[in-house]
Amino acid sequence: MLSKKEKKLIKEIWERLTPVAEDIGSDALLRMFASYPGTKTYFSHLDISPGSAHLYSHGKKIVLAIAEGAKDISQLTVTLAPLQTLHAYQLRIDPTNFKLLSHCMLVTLACYLGEEFTPVAHAAIDKYLSAFAAVLSEKYR
């Protein structure tokens, strides 16, 4: 699915994004909430208004999980096992939302990375985020 070159590129990009995880993650979440308002229902217990501590905290968790998975994509299922269980059995998140967030994350990365978000980077990150969403959805089957 992903070439060695793509895996290396993905790992490098996510390592670079780790220091700004709160900003990237909160931006992607805000885009998702604005574009797909129904996704807000899963966050009714949190203050998800722009600039809120909860929004930044959860955004950071998302980006760090994506970055952790990017370290060794071949072990993505193992890396994400705890999150699979959490989202499927405890939080009961509709798995369609993982795809929605992936799309919003791509838009955020395009804005943040600018010219570095080349067609090659775009394609690689899109493939990776699709794999990430698919792995998170595995417990639903």
Structure tokens at 7: 């895996």
Max CA separation in the chain (angstroms) = 41
Residue pLDDT tens, the chain, 141 long: 799 999 999 999 999 999 999 999 999 999 999 999 999 888 788 888 899 999 999 999 999 999 999 998 888 888 877 777 666 556 677 778 889 999 999 999 999 999 999 999 999 999 999 998 888 887 766
What is the per-residue pLDDT across 47-65, written as a single tens digit (0 to 9) for each?
Answer: 888 999 999 999 999 999 9
Domains and CATH numbers, the chain: 4-140 (1.10.490.10)
The 3-state DSSP class for residue 68 equals helix
In angstroms and rounded to an integer, the radius of gyration of the C-alpha atoms of the chain is 14
Question: In the prediction, which pLDDT does 98 show?
Answer: 86
Pairwise CA distance, residues 115 & 96, whole Å: 30
Task: Report pTM.
Answer: 0.88
User: Token pair of 90, please?
Assistant: 């405890």
Q: How far is CA 98 from CA 52, 88, 107, 108, in A?
A: 22, 12, 14, 15
